[in-house]
Amino acid sequence: MAGQSVVIVGAGQAGSDAAAALRSQGHTGPITLIGEESHLPYQRPPLSKAYLYPTGGVGLVDLELRPASFYDTQGVELLRGEEAVRIDRETRSLGLRSGRELRYDSLVLATGARPRKLPVPGAERPGVFVLRGADDAEALRQRLAEPDRTLNVVVIGAGFIGLELASTATRSGHRVTVVEAQPRVLQRALTEEMSDWLTAEHRSRGVRLLLRREVAELLGDGSGPVRAVRLGDGEELPADLAVVGIGVLPNVDLAVRAGLAVGDGILVDEHLRTSDPAIFAIGDCARFPSRQAGRPMRLESVQNASDQARCVAAAICGTPEPYTALPWFWSEQYGHRLQIAGLTAGHDRTVLLGHPAQARFSVLCFREGRLIGAESVNRAADHGIVRRLLTSGAELTPEQVAVPGFDLKDLNRQLV
């Protein structure tokens, strides 16, 4: 197996990490990594954070996952600006838009996801942005950097990207309104306690955060740039620019055309194998059986992309292990670091540790008396300890945590 040829479609976090993991796990055969973007594979998280500050001094080169020399020295053929358009499963070959055909023994689909489109009139106007790739971020950064002007920025969707963007735009001196259709921010991802804390934090910084409000139309003159956002109740929000952050759709077209099993994502088993045993899928595009959730799911995080990259490399190298890695995630808003360990959705009880008013606290989440995750603000130690507890399977009950004077660090010492 070590000498067989591996082709990876998608040169993002998962694809680039998979190429690296294959080499570090002993794969000696040819590896080809195909990316439709022209850039070297880069990290996306800073695109809605440090990269967006006009004077932040962060360039795309700072975000590269690996230098160009890595791909040369590791013998990874990196094809940039090339789109994979067809899989022939009979002959095990992949067709590229340029006409090139590549033979594979194992194919890894790491095609990521793309922003969901806002289904209202005016959504295609100039001045309406999305934020997924480096080119999106560069366009947005230039617009936010307009000298000596306070812009009216309307952010549509209070998910992680929308809220991070609201934070960076506010800190850059702009007037920001966030419109969210749900009753609270990050409703599906976070506990009510954390949603409420984030809402208060944004409002205290001057963001107008509108909940339970829907966007009806993006207004402008003729086909000209956006100048206002009209809500369902008729209110018009002035907008020099609007950013749509209403979630993503997995890139599954290639898999669908190849007849692979697809749901919300490319369906894979515990070894990340699709319905064709020679083809794997990893990262944002893959729907996998999650041990923690007890059901199939897709995750959109660096942790998941990187851990699945290592897992797929092991399967291809002939040492398969089921994918069981613990999910974790982070976000940054107004200089606060929010960290999530485990999957907190589905909790039936929470216990608070620390001090929300001082922006240093954790919300521990339990289901049926068992710890399932934690959300921490500026409490990195709590986050690390909860990750260790969840990974080791150590028991922690809400009653233990609720005892006055309880400190996670004491528990951590017992684990050593």
Given the complex with ligand FAD, which of 122 and 133 has the nearer CB atom?
A: 133
Q: Least distance from C-beta 213 to ligand FAD, angstroms? A: 23
Q: Least distance from C-beta 13 to ligand FAD, angstroms? A: 4
Among 10, 122, 342, 373, binds ligand FAD (CB under 6 A): 10
Q: Least distance from C-beta 389 to ligand FAD, angstroms? A: 20
254 binds ligand FAD (CB under 6 A): yes
Tell me if 37 sits within 8 A of 10, measured CB to CB: no
**Order of strands across the sheet with 286-290?**
262-263, 265-267, 286-290, 295-297
Given the complex with ligand FAD, which of 35 and 122 has the nearer CB atom?
A: 35
What CA–CA distance (Å, rounded) separates 346 from 395?
Answer: 18
- 286 dihedral zone (left: phi>0; alpha: psi -120 to 50; beta): beta
Among 15, 157, 159, 162, binds ligand FAD (CB under 6 A): 15
Question: What values do phi and psi take at 315, rounded to 5?
Answer: -65, -45
Look up residue 188 and give its two tokens. Answer: 């599906």
153 binds ligand FAD (CB under 6 A): no
* Contact code string over 154-173 relative to ligand FAD, x by CB under 6 A: -------x------------
Report the residue number whose CB is nearest to ligand FAD: 12
Tell me if 179 sits within 8 A of 210, measured CB to CB: yes
Instruction: Give the number of other CB atoms < 10 A from CB of residue 348.
Output: 11
9 binds ligand FAD (CB under 6 A): yes
Total chain residues near ligand FAD (CB under 6 A)? 36
What CA–CA distance (Å, rounded) separates 255 from 244?
Answer: 27
What CA–CA distance (Å, rounded) separates 342 from 372?
Answer: 6
Given the complex with ligand FAD, which of 282 and 365 has the nearer CB atom?
A: 282
By the 10 Å C-beta count (0-12 exposed, 13-18 middle, 19+ buried), 43 is classed as middle
Question: In terms of DSSP bridges, do strands 215-220 and 226-231 run parallel, antiparallel, or are they unpaired?
Answer: antiparallel
Look up residue 359 and give its two tokens. Answer: 């922006």
Closest CA to 1 of 319, 321, 316: 316
112 binds ligand FAD (CB under 6 A): yes
Q: Least distance from C-beta 141 to ligand FAD, angstroms? A: 12
Query: Which of the residues 273 through 302 are near ligand FAD (CB under 6 A)?
Result: 283-284, 300-302
Helices H / strands E in the chain, number of each: 11, 27
What CA–CA distance (Å, rounded) separates 338 from 322?
Answer: 29
Count of alpha carbons within 13 Å of 178, Cβ hemisphere only?
Answer: 32
Q: Least distance from C-beta 350 to ligand FAD, angstroms? A: 22
Among 20, 102, 140, 305, binds ligand FAD (CB under 6 A): 305
Tell me if 342 sits within 8 A of 373, measured CB to CB: yes
48 binds ligand FAD (CB under 6 A): yes
* Contact code string over 217-246 relative to ligand FAD, x by CB under 6 A: ------------------------------
131 binds ligand FAD (CB under 6 A): yes
Among 7, 8, 12, 372, binds ligand FAD (CB under 6 A): 12
36 binds ligand FAD (CB under 6 A): yes
H helix or E strand, kind and range, residue 113: strand 113-115
Closest CA to 287 of 257, 316, 249: 249
Given the complex with ligand FAD, which of 283 and 373 has the nearer CB atom?
A: 283
306 binds ligand FAD (CB under 6 A): no
44 binds ligand FAD (CB under 6 A): yes
Q: Least distance from C-beta 188 to ligand FAD, angstroms? A: 15
Which residues are at the interface with ligand FAD (CB under 6 A)?
A: 9-15, 34-37, 44-45, 47-48, 83-84, 110-113, 131-132, 161, 251, 254, 283-284, 300-303, 305, 329-331
